[in-house]
Amino acid sequence: MTIDVSLELAPADESTPQARLLLEACNIAMHPARCVVGQDAKATTEDSAIAILRWGHDHTDARIEVGLRLHGVAAWRKRNVFFSRADPESERWCTVGYAIALLVGEVASAGTNEPNAGANPPSTASQSSNRGGQDLREGAKARFWLDTQFALADEIPGFAPASGGQIRFSSFVFGRRGSVSGAVQGTFQQWPVDSLSVLQATASLGGGLAVLRIPHVDVAVRAEALLRLIDATGTDPASGVAGNGHVWGVGFAEQVDAAWMWSNRIGFVAGVGFSEMTADTELTAHGQALVHIPVVHLESAAGLRLAFP
C-alpha cells in the first residue's frame, strides 16, 4: 500500500534548507511513497496522511501529529521527539523526517483498530501513543553499524599488495559525531622465493570523529591501537624441508572512511589509511634475509555497511 504524506510546517519553515532536509529524510524512509509540503500536496489516492510538525523552544523538542485516512476512516497518532542542545540543527530536522515516516507506518499497520480511529483531529484527541516519552532519535537513525570489507595492504614494497578481509563494528558516542570501533582483519601474501607465504592477523580498537555528515553520506577519520600477528611459512627448495615462524607486534592505525547509504540500513563504505608498527620485521632462512616488512603499511578497504538502531 502506497501512502502519500502531506507535511504541515510553520509558514516560516516551509522554504528553509532545514525543511528540505526533513522532506528528503521523509521521502527516503517512505519510498516508494512520497512526502510533500502542505501546499504542494495533491491527494491522488484514497489512502493519504497528514503530518503536523510543531517545534518547541530552541528546537530541543518536536511534536508530531499524524492523521491517516484508510478507506475513508481517519486515525490519529502523536509523538514527541526530544533533542540535546549539542545535536546539530540539520540532524534534528532529518531525525524528525524519519520519525514522521515511522509514525505513519505505525498508524497504517494498526489500521482502523486504533482506539482513536475516526476520532477528532489531534487538537481534541485524548490518547497519545508516546510510549513513555520514547526518543525517536534512537529508532529513526542507526546507533551501531557493521562494515564487512575487502582489504588490500601494501605490506612489502615491490610486490603485489596483500589481500584479505576486514570486519568492523562501531557505535556512536557523545551525540552523533564521535564513535568507538573495533575490527579484525586478515591478509595473505605469497612469493615465489622459497614458496614463502605470510599471513597477517590484526585486531584493533579505537575511536573516530565524523567530519562530514549530509543526507546519504558520512565521512569520518579514525585512530586505533592495534595488535598484529605475522605468521610466515616457507619451503627450502634444496632440501624440501618446510619451516614456520611467527612474531607479535603492536602499533597504531589512522584511516579516513567515506560511506554512502543507499537506505537507512544498508550502504557502501570505502576507506584508505596507514598502519605503523613499533618495529619492522625481517623474514630469514639459514641466516639469510628473504623479505623485509617495513614499519609503515598503506591500507585500503571497501565493502558493505549494515546499520542497526
Domain boundaries, the chain: 4-139, 144-308
CATH hierarchy code of domain 144-308: 2.40.160.20
Unique residue bearing C-alpha cell 484508510: 70
Quickly state the pLDDT bin for 194 (edges 50, 70, 90): low
Q: Of 173 and 140, which is predicted with more confidence? A: 173
Query: How much is the pLDDT for 130?
Result: 38
Average pLDDT, the chain: 80
What does the angle CA 213 – CA 219 – CA 224 come to, to the nearest 5 degrees? 130
184 near 165, Cβ under 8 Å?
no
SS3 (DSSP) at 114: coil
Q: Of 114 and 81, which is predicted with more confidence? A: 81
Of the chain, the percentage scoring pLDDT greater than 90 comes to 27
Say yes or no to pLDDT of 167 above 70.
Answer: yes
Give the CA dihedral 88, 89, 94, 95, nearest 10 degrees. Answer: 70
CA distance 104 to 30: 9
CA distance 264 to 283: 46
Of the chain, the percentage scoring pLDDT greater than 70 comes to 80
Say yes or no to pLDDT of 123 above 80.
Answer: no
What average pLDDT score do residues 105-115 get?
65
Query: How much is the pLDDT for 4?
Result: 78
What average pLDDT score do residues 83-91 get?
84
Nearest to 54 by CA among 14, 9, 20: 9
Mean pLDDT lowest among 49-58, 109-118, 131-140, 204-213: 131-140
Quickly state the pLDDT bin for 299 (edges 50, 70, 90): very high
Say yes or no to pLDDT of 242 above 60.
Answer: yes
Query: How much is the pLDDT for 73?
Result: 72
Query: How much is the pLDDT for 79?
Result: 87
Q: Of 47 and 171, which is predicted with more confidence? A: 171
pTM score: 0.55
Q: How far is CA 136 from CA 32, 79, 259, 270, in A?
A: 22, 9, 23, 29
Query: How much is the pLDDT for 60?
Result: 84
What average pLDDT score do residues 104-117 get?
63
Nearest to 63 by CA among 1, 126, 2, 123: 123
Nearest to 293 by CA among 302, 274, 280: 280
CA distance 134 to 150: 38
